[in-house]
Amino acid sequence: MTTSQLIQDHKPGAARRQGRPGIALTVIAACQLMVVLDATIVNIALPHIQDALKFSTTDLTWVVSAYTLTFGGLLLLGARAGDILGRRRVFMTGILLFTFASLLGGLAQEPWQLLAARALQGMGGAIASPTSLALITTTFPEGPERNRAFGVFAAVSAGGGAIGLLAGGMLTDWLDWRWVFFVNVPIGLLIVALTPQYINESERHPGRFDITGALTSTLGMASLVYGFIRAAEKGWHDGLALGSFAAAVILLLAFVFNETRAKEPITPLRMFADRNRSGTYVIMLSLAAAMFGMFFYIVLFVQNVLGYSPIRAGLAFLPVTAAIAVGAGLSQRFLPVLGPKPFMMTGSALVVVGLTWQTFISPDSSYLGGILGPMLIFGFGMGLNFVTATVTAVSGVAQHEAGAASGLLNAMQQVGGSLGLSILTTVFGTASKDEAKKQLPKFLADGSPEQKAAFAKTHQLPAPWGHEVLAHGISTAFIPAAAMAGLGLLTAWLVIKVRKSDLEALAGTAGPGMG
């Protein structure tokens, strides 16, 4: 079967095998799992990647950022492509690009090759992910059946990060770091092979691509994230950091200006006319900003302070996945009865509690006493929010705009995660440098000659002084993380409303378009 045959434009209803919604949902969820977990699967492998390809510490950050920035920045364009060209066709194209980029990443021999592959992975994910969510709206009728499908999709989205950490640890320990990329190849090819058989093509709607909007938004966010990362390394007075912030402001203002005047913008402003949908986007942005940072820094803590192996570190996150699944199942069950507000408020409040608890992390913290408890609270709160946000974002949207609505939700998650991690990195860098200045005299007074000789070469404080530095930086970084989640709680309280039309639609008694 050739690529052209795989992605040919079928008419609606042309899938060869019908009556298999379970298989269709499995294919869609497998795509989302592959795309979402790839944002975290490399985290545990980063030290091995650094050693193999000789990355500097600063450049290593871009192994993560190159993916999340292109993913988040191009999601809206990918969603638009699905509406214009047909969602199944675009879905398969995105999966093929993602699979090819994964192969390139596993074969990389130089840093620039891996970064280019990560950017291509982000592009493929940006094409496939919003289209996969929109395919649910054309595959499952509105009501309980679609809500269940959204529940599965949202649980996969929420738990994919933790699953990626576990998979990354297993692949790195048992095989090689390159397999965190190679593992996507057979999965991607299987998805592409099954899609024409079990998923119908959607109607194609005439339209134009807003390339200017896509470029200004992506480059603007990249400049903003780079500014924070640069400031963490060089300080807030660094000229390049300040220049990046200025460029970000100009580009993002140009993006807003373009969207208000473009005939067919990638971000239709009418999507924000619905109060609940707008509030949902803000909540997703703020919670994702906190979530990405939590995973990143807890991984550092359990490996560098607690001394966990990659596999053990991945296993340490399994309870989070379970908590997310429980929260997702609970909200999916009662969302048609209570509406989104109670779940968004409760979920956001729990996330704040979990992150606030983690501000007390110290070198003496154990996994059971200082990590597991707050992670369970955090995970349950995120589970309540993910299902609710997914359903609310696309509820009442016309089918031809479902791609734009779902693309905005996904973009908020990825852009929020990228921005939040960069902000937390800045806070972490400042706090850890201050703590290092306090610990250095103690190290010079009490350190052994061997430790001092190693420090002269690496400029890294050994344990226990280095553990103090790392723990202080992490605990301080969780303060703004909790504040970001607090913004989500405030939005849920002041913006989200429980409306009768929403409850009717969620229960399956209202027709499409209501809300």
**Predicted confidence (pLDDT) per residue in 474-499, tens digit:** 999 999 999 999 999 999 899 877 66
Mean pLDDT over residues 463-483, rounded?
88
Token digits of residue 86: 């047909």
Distance CA 2, CA 17 (A): 20
Residue showing tokens 């200025």: 246
User: Of 177, 38, 186, whose CA–CA distance to 108 is shortest?
Assistant: 177
Burial class (CB in 10 A: 0-12, 13-18, 19+), 345: buried
Tell me, what's the pLDDT at 3? 37
State mean pLDDT over 118-140: 82
Q: At 376, is the pLDDT very low, low, confident or very high (cuts 50, 70, 90)? A: very high
pLDDT at 278: 82
The rounded distance, in Å, linking the Cα atoms of 285 and 288 is 5
Handedness of CA 486, 487, 488, 493 (dihedral sign): positive
CA-based Rg of the chain, rounded to a whole angstrom? Answer: 23
Res 405: pLDDT: 74
Share of the chain above pLDDT 90, in %: 18
For residue 16, is pLDDT > 60? no
pLDDT at position 511: 36
Residues counted in the chain: 515
Distance CA 55, CA 63 (A): 10
Q: Locate the domains of the chain by residue range.
A: 8-209+266-506, 210-265
Share of the chain above pLDDT 70, in %: 85
> Using 50, 70 and 90 to split pLDDT, how confident is the model at 103?
very high
What does the alpha-carbon distance between residue 364 and residue 129 come to, in Å, rounded to a whole number?
A: 41
- pLDDT value, residue 42: 82
pLDDT at 297 over 50: yes
Q: How far is CA 222 from the centre of its chain?
A: 15
Whole-model pTM over 0.75: yes
pLDDT at 510: 37
Work out the burial of residue 65: count CB atoms within 10 Å of its CB; fewer than 13 is exposed, 13-18 middle, 19 or more buried: buried
Stretch 101-109: mean pLDDT, rounded? Answer: 94
Q: What does the alpha-carbon distance between residue 425 and residue 418 come to, in Å, rounded to a whole number?
A: 11
Query: Mean per-residue pLDDT for 352-367?
Result: 91
Average pLDDT over residues 322-350: 85
* Whether residue 204 has pLDDT greater than 50: yes
Distances (CA, A) of 287 to 117, 247, 349: 28, 26, 11
Is the pLDDT score of 4 beyond 50? no
Amino acid at 21: P
Burial letters for 30-51: b for 16+ Cβ neighbours within 10 Å, e otherwise? bbbbbbbbbbbbbbbbbbbbbe
pLDDT-wise least confident of 37-46, 57-66, 274-283, 304-313: 57-66
Contact call for residues 443 and 465 (beta carbons, < 8 A): yes
Mean pLDDT computed over 177-203? 84
Q: Give the closest residue to 106 by CA, choosing from 119, 93, 117.
A: 117
Q: Can you point out the beta strands (E) in 352-482?
A: none
Query: Token pair of 226, please?
Result: 């780079």
Calculate the average pLDDT of the chain.
80
pLDDT higher than 60, residue 500 = no
CB atoms within 10 A of CB 173: 18
pLDDT of res. 503: 56
pLDDT in tens, 394-408: 777 666 666 667 777
Model confidence at 459, pLDDT cuts 50, 70, 90, reads low
Predicted local confidence at residue 352, as pLDDT? 95
pLDDT of residue 370 exceeding 90, the answer is no
CA separation, residue 266 to residues 57, 88, 208, 392 (Å) = 35, 19, 9, 20
218, pLDDT greater than 90: no
Q: Report the pLDDT averaged over residues 86-95.
A: 86
- Residue 206 has a pLDDT of 57
Backbone phi, psi, residue 18, to 5°: -110, 175
CATH 1.20.1250.20 matches 8-209+266-506:
yes
Poorest-pLDDT segment among 30-44, 107-121, 357-371 = 30-44
Residue 1 has pLDDT above 70, yes or no: no
Mean pLDDT check: name the lowest of 174-188, 254-268, 481-495.
Answer: 254-268
Burial class (CB in 10 A: 0-12, 13-18, 19+), 131: buried
Neighbours of 18 (CB within 10 A): 11
